[in-house]
Copies of this chain bind each other. A is one copy, B any other.
């Protein structure tokens, strides 16, 4: 049996380290919040594709409001929900750059529903990372359009009721119906296997943009231990047992060109 190590030996090599596109600063995310994982995956994808110097990141209003601080890329702050419109303005002015929006479910599916819908319908050549945690994280856990029926939140204290507030919104299903969308998939961040799949999807989505195809979005089922009132580990379980059944993982739209890129990747 091997000996315990406190420092890597000379023969050891780094198998995994902090991605270059991710800043070395501390994030303000809660312990165990998978926003952090989403960030890391995006940074890794950027590194691997060698596009760090071409990316322009549009941060949302939501817990990821400081996203532009956390990536070593050019970045800006959109108003709540308007990241797709802002990204449109950027992409049309800098078609050679790679424009990424990073948005929460309140941001993208609630206040920003029109902007994401139209960006997708236009086939805007941008990439959206959509972090769905079924709740408004930043403002303290209110109901989101993606909250589950029965889910107790700070603005649906008796649990979300369909008769009063309707049904969870499925953004992948919705946007994949639009001709302008090219790559629309849903992944989850609740365990290592799924995280790896998510990473692959993000990479493909960026490739889609690099190839100048249409609108791409990767929805990531994500945790909010703080507002769900769960430990980080329990929260991962909640994604698996509650969120995924309501939001099935899968490829909602992958055009043939996108498929080709996916394989090539």
Residues on A lying within 8 angstroms of B by beta carbon are: 110-114, 117-118, 121-124, 145, 162-163, 165-170, 173-174, 177-180
Which of the residues B117, B123, B166, B170 comes within 8 Å of A123, measured between beta carbons? B166
Which A-B residue pairs are the 8 nearest by beta carbons? A122-B166, A167-B179, A113-B114, A114-B114, A166-B180, A121-B166, A123-B166, A167-B180
In the complex, are the beta carbons of A113 and B118 less than 8 A apart?
yes
In the complex, are the beta carbons of B113 and A167 less than 8 A apart?
no
A96–chain B nearest beta-carbon distance, Å: 16
A211–chain B nearest beta-carbon distance, Å: 14
**Which chain B residues lie closer than 8 Å to A124 at the CB level?**
166
A179, B167: Cα distance in complex, Å? 6
A10–chain B nearest beta-carbon distance, Å: 55
A174, B118: Cα distance in complex, Å? 12
A154, B136: Cα distance in complex, Å? 41
**Which chain B residues lie closer than 8 Å to A123 at the CB level?**
162-163, 166-167
In the complex, are the beta carbons of B169 and A121 less than 8 A apart?
yes
Which of A114, A163, A165, A179 is most buried by chain B, counting CB atoms within 10 A of its CB?
Answer: A114
Residue of B nearest to A215 (CB): B166
**Which chain B residues lie closer than 8 Å to A178 at the CB level?**
167, 169, 174
